[in-house]
Chain A
């Protein structure tokens, strides 16, 4: 067993420079990854935005109390700043700032859960296809190709119209179309990883396919997984917004940024800008944040950019 095979760490191993006999203190992989990530200003900005948005949505309601369940028609469509409503009120009298916090929880929860679920399932699916190869790969990948041929939005609209949208339903519906991309990506990684010496060694010692997939293939593709997960989350948040925009959101009094934007659009002609721009901006911000983080992580996991 070679040193490389004995230490299945994340990412390809970098050979030591020739002639370097003196053992030097090499930073750990985690440190090197972190160093690259923190060196990326956009990634840091993304992380900062994300932390702020999470705090806004989940800690904000603890400090800023509003009733987001009962309507108040007498206070409908108040402009920002009026009567204790810093961002105004909605057409049903909900405080807008409180509604953004409330709606953000749904958008982030569904986005995160759907993105992670899709990545997890796609990873296992792709790893199995890539590791076993042959007819297993052929069958699994043809299924993926067939599913990819159907426009995702069309599928989402059809499924969401058949069932009453709820958080778990939205998570499953979005994840059911989002797993295809990570599946293909990880399958490519698995094809390369399965020919590594440490995988051969494990098999020679009697290790089975399941052990190979879950102990060697998946852990070694973790970098790709994490990077992909951030993009999946961003996409999932956008899909929540799309579906809500098409009227397939979680029934009221629940809200999410997409449905808030959708109902705000109704009032564009009468100038109720506070119903449109805040949820729109937050969607853009959260998607941008996840993309910056994803790009930063991709760089961080790229060993060519890591400094020993």
Chain B
């Protein structure tokens, strides 16, 4: 287009430009490069070997962009915290117990079990003594106190802050000795909840390396924050060189590729076996799949659309292992958006829209069975029933009974404005169209198709939905809690960031982070006194009905639109890469990974040939 051409060049040039689109398709449909197969080592077979590099794929369109272990709003993506925890592990790490239940009782914990006293108002936390920083200095209770001082002085800049929870609910933090902490709480809490959802967030930070003498916590935090925003220096900035986890950063590129190497001074029991772990970013699931198929990944995933390919991978030395998450997935409506906030503040509108989402069909056809409906604010396994199943007739009734009629363009318009029975509701003017815009994450065919199916279903009943797709980081950076007057609140009406689950819970799936008034991840600005009361009940007492009541209430209130919750990923793992435990809270433990070689062949397992895949073994037992 940009140059004048001769006759020959013009014709052939354009044809040559058009033909690659088709040729690419031809190549991809079966004439592509031969796939290199890997070693066939069955479960329980093979001799573990030390060393080697494992390459793992990051989720589509996910670019790790935050190394500072105190997450700022907009930088709370799971892949960021998973990497941070490898460098700066928390006091307690959630893991799946042999019973299959999630627990915080892990051998890799930095602290011993906490001791609750004084009617559950005082907690004593003894640290394990063998942990050291990478510069050789011991990890002390003062380092944990340093983390607490930073978040207390800068709670508004901390993405994990919820009013009345950490740090507000700790009246006093005492360092009893080099390895013991004591917390005086503002009231009695449910010990199981406090350990799982509050203490598990505490992490030691290197006070000796990050704090200067006489500098206030506010100033230290701002200085650290300025370093944390320099993505290009994550692998060279001396600040991030002092770590205490099993790994340290070798390379971190601005495009999101992260290379980790073992921290030789790591004091935990789970010392790394590999020489290096590389986390590779991909713009789309399709591009990841192509690299995986070409043998460029040891640990990747297949998009649900090509689930039929799982047999191919099994035959070429990989195993398939769906990674189920302890989470829920939803579309967040921005209740403070000046334009559509008044619409979505109406419970009947939210319920009608929820009744138009055919989660079952979408899970089955779009996600090829690798997703299951989200039924409420807790994982589906904990829900008793689905109070708002797909029911277009009910949605129609709800909308027409509140004064909505189809206009000339087929979109519903408010014909009976005002409040009260049978009226559209507060803030909705006569003639107002039921039209919404959704900011959805790009990079996934399944997500795009889910949104198209929802749009189509909405449109049949006269609800207009415009979809705008952007990369995940853009969506996460835009869909933040906001006040009506803030410009960012006008930038988004509804948001979706759940290609691999919208929210992954800690051990206890309570909603203090998600749906409590003013909670950091309450993106849609949901505020409801009853919800707050029910959440508090789950925090304070151990009554098993409290979680059920909370779940029931929000499932009917629909603070967000529940959508199918996909498996975090359908993992494809080399059969000779072992020790992988796919944690439902999505934390990573590559220190447990190791390669095996075939017994007696004298070769590294990675040099093998064709063979069948096996089931994965656990590395923890090694």
Report B-chain residues with C-beta under 8 Å of the C-beta of A236: 1
Query: Which of A74, A91, A276 meets B445, CB within 8 Å?
Result: A91
Whether A185 touches B4, Cβ cut-off 8 Å, given contacts A92-B449, A252-B452, A288-B18, is yes
Q: How far is the CA of A292 from the CA of B12 in the complex (A)?
A: 10
Contact A252 B2 (CB under 8 A): no
Contact B21 A270 (CB under 8 A): no
Q: How far is the CA of A181 from the CA of B469 in the complex (A)?
A: 32
Contact A295 B456 (CB under 8 A): no
A-contacting residues, B11-42, CB 8 Å: 11, 14-15, 17-19, 21-22, 24-25, 28-30
Q: Confirm or deny: A132 has a beta carbon within 8 angstroms of a beta carbon on chain B.
A: no
Map CB proximity to B onto A218-245 as digits: 1 under 8 Å, 0 otherwise. 0000000000100110111011010001
Contact B466 A251 (CB under 8 A): yes
Q: How far is the CA of A33 from the CA of B366 in the complex (A)?
A: 55
Contact A287 B365 (CB under 8 A): no
Contact B15 A288 (CB under 8 A): yes
Query: Which of B21, B312, B457 meets A280, CB within 8 Å?
Result: B21
Report B-chain residues with C-beta under 8 Å of the C-beta of A283: 18, 21-22
Report B-chain residues with C-beta under 8 Å of the C-beta of A268: 25, 28-29
Whether A148 touches B2, Cβ cut-off 8 Å, given contacts A231-B14, A295-B10, is yes
Whether A253 touches B456, Cβ cut-off 8 Å, given contacts A232-B1, A265-B24, A266-B286, is yes
Report B-chain residues with C-beta under 8 Å of the C-beta of A51: none
Q: How far is the CA of A298 from the CA of B21 in the complex (A)?
A: 27
Q: How far is the CA of A284 from the CA of B21 in the complex (A)?
A: 9
Report B-chain residues with C-beta under 8 Å of the C-beta of A298: 7
Q: Confirm or deny: B289 has a beta carbon within 8 angstroms of a beta carbon on chain A.
A: yes
CB-nearest residue of chain A relative to B361? Answer: A73
Map CB proximity to A onto B432-452 as digits: 1 under 8 Å, 0 otherwise. 000000000010010011001
Contact B11 A264 (CB under 8 A): no
Contact B10 A231 (CB under 8 A): yes
Q: How far is the CA of A60 from the CA of B92 in the complex (A)?
A: 65
Report B-chain residues with C-beta under 8 Å of the C-beta of A247: 284, 442, 469
- CB A172 to nearest CB in B, in angstroms, measures 15
Query: Which of B4, B14, B457 meets A291, CB within 8 Å?
Result: B14
- CB B581 to nearest CB in A, in angstroms, measures 28
Report B-chain residues with C-beta under 8 Å of the C-beta of A294: 10
Contact A264 B468 (CB under 8 A): no
Q: How far is the CA of A178 from the CA of B366 in the complex (A)?
A: 38
Q: Confirm or deny: B493 has a beta carbon within 8 angstroms of a beta carbon on chain A.
A: no
Contact A267 B14 (CB under 8 A): no
Q: How large is the interface on B (under 10, 10 to 19, 20 to 34, 35 or more residues)?
A: 35 or more
Interface centre among A184, A228, A284, A294 (most CB of B within 10 A): A284
Contact B25 A280 (CB under 8 A): yes
Contact A271 B452 (CB under 8 A): no
Whether A70 touches B19, Cβ cut-off 8 Å, given contacts A265-B25, A269-B289, is no
Q: How far is the CA of A253 from the CA of B161 in the complex (A)?
A: 40
Query: Which of A180, A273, A280 meets B2, CB within 8 Å?
Result: A180
Whether A270 touches B306, Cβ cut-off 8 Å, given contacts A73-B361, A251-B466, is yes
Q: Confirm or deny: B303 has a beta carbon within 8 angstroms of a beta carbon on chain A.
A: yes
Q: Confirm or deny: B453 has a beta carbon within 8 angstroms of a beta carbon on chain A.
A: yes
Q: Confirm or deny: B430 has a beta carbon within 8 angstroms of a beta carbon on chain A.
A: no
Report B-chain residues with C-beta under 8 Å of the C-beta of A177: 1-2
Whether A70 touches B460, Cβ cut-off 8 Å, given contacts A91-B449, A185-B4, A295-B7, is yes
Q: Confirm or deny: A158 has a beta carbon within 8 angstroms of a beta carbon on chain B.
A: no
Q: How far is the CA of A152 from the CA of B25 in the complex (A)?
A: 24
Q: Confirm or deny: B381 has a beta carbon within 8 angstroms of a beta carbon on chain A.
A: no
Q: How far is the CA of A265 from the CA of B1 in the complex (A)?
A: 26
Q: How far is the CA of A70 from the CA of B19 in the complex (A)?
A: 32
Query: Which of B30, B364, B445, B456 meets A71, CB within 8 Å?
Result: B456
Map CB proximity to B onto A282-308 as digits: 1 under 8 Å, 0 otherwise. 011001101110110010000000000
Q: Confirm or deny: A100 has a beta carbon within 8 angstroms of a beta carbon on chain B.
A: no
Q: Confirm or deny: B459 has a beta carbon within 8 angstroms of a beta carbon on chain A.
A: yes
Interface centre among B24, B442, B467 (most CB of A within 10 A): B24
Contact A251 B467 (CB under 8 A): yes
Whether A73 touches B22, Cβ cut-off 8 Å, given contacts A253-B456, A266-B286, is no
Q: Confirm or deny: A214 has a beta carbon within 8 angstroms of a beta carbon on chain B.
A: no
- CB A251 to nearest CB in B, in angstroms, measures 5
- CB A19 to nearest CB in B, in angstroms, measures 35
CB-nearest residue of chain B relative to A42? Answer: B11
- CB B385 to nearest CB in A, in angstroms, measures 23
Report A-chain residues with C-beta under 8 Å of the C-beta of B466: 164, 251
Q: How far is the CA of A268 from the CA of B28 in the complex (A)?
A: 6
Whether A92 touches B453, Cβ cut-off 8 Å, given contacts A178-B1, A238-B17, is yes
Q: How far is the CA of A283 from the CA of B14 in the complex (A)?
A: 11
CB-nearest residue of chain B relative to A275? Answer: B25
Report B-chain residues with C-beta under 8 Å of the C-beta of A228: 4
Map CB proximity to A onto B523-565 as digits: 1 under 8 Å, 0 otherwise. 0000000000000000000000000000000000000000000
Whether A267 touches B306, Cβ cut-off 8 Å, given contacts A181-B2, A231-B10, A252-B455, is yes
Q: How far is the CA of A258 from the CA of B17 in the complex (A)?
A: 13
Q: Confirm or deny: B592 has a beta carbon within 8 angstroms of a beta carbon on chain A.
A: no
Q: Confirm or deny: A281 has a beta carbon within 8 angstroms of a beta carbon on chain B.
A: yes
Whether A291 touches B15, Cβ cut-off 8 Å, given contacts A74-B365, A251-B467, A261-B25, is yes
Query: Which of B22, B455, B457, B468 meets A284, CB within 8 Å?
Result: B22
- CB A148 to nearest CB in B, in angstroms, measures 6
Contact A276 B14 (CB under 8 A): no
Q: Confirm or deny: A76 has a beta carbon within 8 angstroms of a beta carbon on chain B.
A: yes
Q: How far is the CA of A288 from the CA of B2 in the complex (A)?
A: 18
Contact B25 A284 (CB under 8 A): no
A-contacting residues, B452-483, CB 8 Å: 452-453, 455-457, 459-460, 466-469
Query: Which of B358, B445, B448 meets A73, CB within 8 Å?
Result: B358
Q: Confirm or deny: B3 has a beta carbon within 8 angstroms of a beta carbon on chain A.
A: yes
Interface centre among A69, A92, A295 (most CB of B within 10 A): A92
CB-nearest residue of chain A relative to B285? Answer: A266
Contact B361 A152 (CB under 8 A): no
CB-nearest residue of chain B relative to A298? Answer: B7
Report A-chain residues with C-beta under 8 Å of the C-beta of B11: 291-292, 295
Q: Confirm or deny: B586 has a beta carbon within 8 angstroms of a beta carbon on chain A.
A: no
Contact A287 B442 (CB under 8 A): no
Query: Which of A70, A232, A269, A291 meets B306, CB within 8 Å?
Result: A269
Report A-chain residues with C-beta under 8 Å of the C-beta of B361: 73-74
Map CB proximity to B onto A53-90 as digits: 1 under 8 Å, 0 otherwise. 00000000000000001110110100000000000000
Report A-chain residues with C-beta under 8 Å of the C-beta of B5: 231
Whether A269 touches B15, Cβ cut-off 8 Å, given contacts A181-B4, A261-B25, A295-B7, is no
Q: Confirm or deny: A263 has a beta carbon within 8 angstroms of a beta carbon on chain B.
A: yes
Whether A273 touches B29, Cβ cut-off 8 Å, given contacts A283-B18, A283-B21, is yes
Query: Which of A91, A164, A235, A280 meets B305, CB within 8 Å?
Result: A91
| Closest 4 A/B residue pairs (Cβ) | A280-B22, A268-B28, A235-B1, A71-B456
Q: Which residues of B contact A (CB under 8 A)?
A: 1-5, 7, 10-11, 14-15, 17-19, 21-22, 24-25, 28-30, 284, 286, 289, 293, 303, 305-306, 308-309, 312, 358, 361-362, 364-366, 442, 445, 448-449, 452-453, 455-457, 459-460, 466-469
With A73-B358, A73-B453 given, can you name 4 additional A-B contacts, CB distance below 8 Å? Answer: A73-B364, A261-B25, A266-B303, A266-B305
Q: List 20 A-B contacts (CB under 8 A).
A: A70-B459, A73-B453, A91-B305, A164-B466, A178-B1, A181-B2, A235-B1, A251-B466, A252-B448, A252-B467, A263-B448, A265-B25, A266-B305, A266-B306, A269-B309, A270-B308, A270-B309, A273-B29, A284-B15, A295-B10
